[in-house]
Structure 1
Amino acid sequence: MSNQPVQGLPLMPGSSFRDPTKTAFHRSQTLGYKNGFAFKQLPKVGIGGTRINVNQLSQAELDELSNKRPTLTYGEPKQAPPSDFIPAHVTFDKKVLKFDGYFQEDVPISTEEHFRIRKVGIYYYLEDDSMSVMEPIVENSGIPQGKLIKRQRLPKNDRGDYYHWKDLNRGINITIYGKTFRIVDCDAFTETFLQSQGIELNPPEKMIFDPYTELRKMPLRMYVTPSDFDQLKQFLAFDKKVLRFYAMWDDTESMFGENRRFIIHYYLADDTVEVREVHERNNGRDPFPVLIRRQRLPKKIVENKGTFPSCVLEISDQEVLEWFTAKDFAVGKSTTLLGRKFFIYDCDEFTRQFCQDKFGITDFQPVDIKKPPPEEIKQEIPPYNGYGFLEDSLQNCFSLIPQPPRKNIIKMLENDRKVLRYAAIMESPNPDDSKRRFVLSYCLATDMISIYEPPVRNSGIIGGKYLGRTRVPKPGSSTDNPIYYEPADLTIGAMVEVFGHRFIIVDADEHVLNYMEENLNSFPAAVVQSMRDHFAPRQAAKEAVKRLAESEPDALGTLSEQLQEHMQRHNYLPDSNMQAAFLEQDKDGSGLINKAEFFALCDRFKVPVDDPIFQKLINLCSHGENQIRYASFLRAFQG
């Protein structure tokens, strides 16, 4: 920060104070460009934009002062034009001083060299006084070379001074970041520049060479006996001719090992061997086809000492006593390639022909390597535990997460809400159970059976649902092959065993007979005929009642009107449960009931059977000597 003198005080040390309100401290630009040329300009304002209070000379006065010369005898000389101002970055652009040098690096862990000489080039950039150190790249040196120190201003000492071109010369040592470099020579431009600046250069020195690098350049004395084998002739004769052998690598002895198939290629052109893996679909292995790349494989190797570093050094020709050849591969024999034992079980047709012509081998019978399939273990299904459906319990044996069994959707849609109902009694030595009546329902959509027991008052037995919907297996069926009851098994008089309880079917709905008539192919002829015989008397009675009702419709209608007027006159109202009671008394559904049962029901509902008009109605509804058509009787009550 600059100090601004307070107005009125002399500009003397100790009389200047800092202006706290000043925030700008930038300096005015003194260099400009016009039409692509640089020109100088005087500042018009001071630092931070303040006003310059000193007397400023004009450009003409400044030119006169800069060009003023002493007066000569012959008058005033002509003024020389002012010299143009050229910045340093323009003057020294792309001008670099180059010095050749080296530094010595210790090698403490090598028995062949104790130190190493590394050549470098030191570059000094005049435009900004920066330096860089570059090391030329030497082929096969094994050392990361190139830029050692990037371009920057290099510190000279601990006081903050930097290296200047005046500090550089031939035959001196410079230390950069703790590393000492010896400068031995420089190029022609550097020498001319330093001499023009008045620097006396030291004589050049010779570059010191690395002793280990010079040792490596010496040719080794090798004596190779020329071979009488013509490799070119072998290549021209057997180019693109390859022997193919199919092999198996048995790795089952190791953990997670298995039998893996491979193809061994023997190239006749250069006696190299390649082993490729045969991948199968969904084998779970990565797609790396080559197990052993194409190379010459050693068959016998010199036994080296235990200290031989085989893990880091490759086997050379001096360690190999014998290489693999084409005669070492044969069908039905095993061969060891780089520690892996391969069994050759077959080869291709070209390989057979070549081995027969070359070695006289005729036995090429392929070996069957397929292992017999393991003995199939029969899945034993545990016995049924009695919980749920049998199909649901079996799903626990087929998968870890049970899935619901498949359903016949077509059958469920075709037989939706179709139910066959049967009346049944229980077969039991207990006399109380033999009087119980049940309704057995068979659902055609799911083949399930449900049993319902109508409640009977004062019977001592709670009625209601006896068996929920479930599939009932027949006696003697097993869990492996369950056989369930079907509609063909439910006939009049048939015995149905439901989980240890026996039921005898004594009756059925007319819908059962109609369903059998519509699906005759699904039922045996004997079952259909037995159901027809069971419903024959009931059909005959209904037809007779129908004919009788058609023959006397007028008389019954007239009597019904008289009966309605008679009941209104005597304030008699029929009971609404009368029809249900008559229907319940008609066990076979024929529409006829016994006279004794009829009069008992009339007495129960207080019907005045002694009244002459009721006696006339009873006589009109009589059928035979002991039966009455209760439907006609009830129709007269309804008007």
Structure 2
Amino acid sequence: METVSNSGHDLPFLPGYSFNDPTKTTFPRSQTLGYRNGYPCSVLPVGASKECLHVNQLFQELNKKKPTPTYEEKKQVPPPSEFVPAHVAFDKKVLTFDAYFQEDVPMSTEEHYRIRKVIIYYYLEDDSMSVTEPIVENSGIPQGKFIKRQRLPKNDRGDHYHWKDLNRGISLVIYGKTFRIVNCDPFTEEFLESQGIELNPPEEMALDPYTELRKNPPRMYVTPSDFDQFKQFLTFDKKVLRFYAIWDDTDSMFGETRNYIILYYLADDTVEVREVHERNDGRDPFPVLVKRQRLPKILVESSNSFPRCVLEVSDQDVQEWYTAKDFAVGQPVTMLGRTFFIYDCDKFTRDFCRDKFGLPEFPTIDVSKKPPPLIKQELPPYNGFGLIEDSAQNCFALIPKPPRKDIIKMLMGDNKVLRYRAVLESPIPEDKGRHFIFTYFLATDMVSIFEPPVRNSGFFGGKFLTKTKIAKPGSSLDKPSFYGPGDFYIGALIEVFGHRFIIQDADEYVLKYLESHADRYPQSTILSLRQHFLKPKSKTEKSDSAPTPENVEMETITKHIQERFKNCKSLLEGPFYEALQVPDKEKTGYVDKEKFCGICKNFNIPLDDFLINELIRLCSNDKGKINYNNFIKAFS
């Protein structure tokens, strides 16, 4: 065996004979990255034999060291395939598609569009594309490379076209132009089918109309007509068909219906349209709408864009002209974009159409203007503010006027009021025992509600509802029905804006008024009031019953008068009371109203005050006399 030298390099390479070299000072690591053929790649570490291991050799060495079962047959692991980059695998492999796009030609009268054929190349190595147009000799169009090689954007999100997006029979939008793919080469077809893409059937390449026209120019033959126009002129000279027509333009803004006369000259098949003017129609006297000329009915397909507003239409541009058989009573006819409805003709025209064309007798169609149907005026729904009569005036005039009032009713019912006492029907315990005074004004059919104040009741009292009309529940908003004197009977339930009241008592004047106008009000209401006043009351019932409306109102007015005129001492002294006793010689306690007012003026009592007037009204009786004792008590 080999001996070991002092440096340790001569020892045999056997287990137990290897040791670290103490003289080694550098420990470099093997390089794992490098370049091969100009491309970066990884380099396997060097083995014990100082040689670089191949990929397959390394995997085989590692697989050999894996433990295997003792009683099982050893299986060989297949070596992995070698990795090949895309730029190497798909180098010089290109997908080729035949396509075309349509280009508009606005400045040419011979062609409207042209078909330009292109070839689309897709480079598999870097997913780039290019579009090339084959050069056609003497085409006059710059051709060749249409779009240089690049990755073409697919949408606004930054995606690019991939070979998976390409197929036959589809359209691609590239930089605003739409390319139609019609076919591809065999390599492209084989590649796409190998990748699992189902190809569409190929399409025919679109033909350029102008190119086809240049290949086979049409041969135009003009056959001379055998129709003798001079014979037509001699036969039908001064014979004209006269049709009466209207033009209905009411669908447009400020449009109207206008009358016209259509003249068809049989001598040369020309048409003239004249306008019928009426006196003071406000239009300029231009009698001719369309001058005498031959009117085209159907143009050839290639003459749709012919500038007829500037140039005259020739015979080559017209497929069919208007003739006498195109005009008939009861049928519309469109000439130069305007549709006329023929409603009548003269006798010569009827006879000519019957003898020449075998048409039946033309009837006369009535086209006179019919009056428009009456539109029912409907008021908008009531919004709940104010009276309905006042709100409705805004729909009748731009500047609303106050609604008309019944003057006779106001004069007959002036200063006539009907008073009722009612209680509030409410599930709330605090509302029980609340009494209200209903005042019905006969002059305006309005109702006011007053709540007498009660001390320590928790409610302020006073005016509960101002003068207004109260509609019955369930009545329509357009034509509501309001409460009237016939609805206020003893025990009646009155609903006022969600509050329910029950009528319990009324003034005796209410019964007298209803009996004097018994023909206007229901007998049940008069009977209920009559039984209420004729019903005897016991002493306990009188003492326990609620105060009458007059007493409650008297107490309220007395309270306000004492607060306002507490400094007026002239009424508390004897001269005013003695002055009132002088006209009352029989000591009845009543004085005529005129004498009472004269005495009040002498003592400077403000008769124009509202409280004084109400007090005088409460102290008055039916005979026009005033109880001055009650008047003076209100101030004491």
TM-score interval w.r.t. the shorter chain? 0.3 to 0.5
Q: What's the TM-score once normalised by structure 1's chain length?
A: 0.38
Q: Indicate the structure (1 or 2) with the bigger Cα radius of gyration.
A: 1
